[in-house]
């Protein structure tokens, strides 16, 4: 799939070792004005590298493979499938600050459905990369549409960007909502409106 190949082609040709990454974090600690050799910080670079592997594990995962297995024994079910309140934990590519929120995902199956956990896994794979919310929303939708050969896909993300709440303009209550529609959700407003009504009661 072109989307995944483009991501793979953007990887550094030179493999960076954990030790090299730890040295980079030591340099940042020194730049901050800290002593990376003091007791409380000696293990910090190693811990940060370990944490970054978790924060950005999506670069090592293929969302298409997540959706590889589908099921056809659904007695002809052809209405929308919606999964609401999928947690989103990502990082913005501009400041590497956390993006925290939730996603709602819907698709209209074309003869086959996918396991419900796989929808959340696709959100997870793309979230665990440096992102803009707009691109994240579109990546999830396009991957579901293409991989499932769906009749339609809708994705909504509602999140808080800590690059806005903790720095810069510092508007701690500001949230950002993005929507992306494909297929029947884009072409038929009755599907889109029903989807929006069904996710409107998703407040925690």
From the candidates 83, 89, 93, 146, give the one annotated as an active-site residue.
93
From the candidates 19, 94, 172, 187, give the one annotated as an active-site residue.
94
From the candidates 22, 163, 184, 192, give the one annotated as an active-site residue.
163
> Catalytic site residue 95?
yes
From the candidates 22, 104, 133, 184, give the one annotated as an active-site residue.
133
> Catalytic site residue 93?
yes
DSSP class per residue in 24-77: HHHHHHHHHT--TTSGGGTTHHHHHHHHHHHHTGGGG--HHHHT--EE--STT-
> Catalytic site residue 92?
yes
From the candidates 92, 124, 139, 192, give the one annotated as an active-site residue.
92
> Catalytic site residue 104?
no
> Catalytic site residue 162?
no
From the candidates 104, 124, 139, 161, give the one annotated as an active-site residue.
161
> Which residues are tagged catalytic?
92-95, 133, 161, 163
């Amino acid at each position: 799939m072109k989307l995944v190949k483009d991501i793979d082609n953007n990887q550094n040709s030179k493999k960076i070792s954990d030790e090299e990454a730890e040295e980079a974090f030591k340099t940042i600690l020194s730049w901050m004005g800290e002593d990376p050799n003091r007791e409380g910080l000696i293990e910090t670079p190693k811990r940060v590298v370990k944490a970054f592997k978790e924060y950005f594990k999506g670069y090592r995962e293929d969302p298409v493979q997540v959706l590889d297995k589908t099921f056809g024994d659904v007695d002809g079910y052809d209405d929308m499938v919606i999964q609401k309140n999928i947690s989103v934990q990502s990082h913005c590519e501009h400041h590497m600050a956390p993006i925290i929120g939730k996603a709602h995902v819907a698709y209209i199956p074309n003869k086959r459905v996918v396991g419900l956990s796989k929808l959340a896994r696709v959100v997870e794979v793309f979230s665990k990369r440096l992102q803009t919310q707009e691109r994240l929303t579109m990546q999830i939708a396009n991957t579901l549409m293409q991989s499932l050969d769906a009749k339609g896909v809708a994705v909504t993300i509602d999140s808080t960007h800590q690059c806005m709440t903790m720095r810069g303009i510092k508007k701690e209550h500001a949230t950002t909502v993005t929507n992306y529609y494909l297929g029947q959700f884009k072409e038929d407003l009755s599907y889109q409106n029903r989807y929006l009504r069904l996710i409107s009661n998703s407040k925690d």
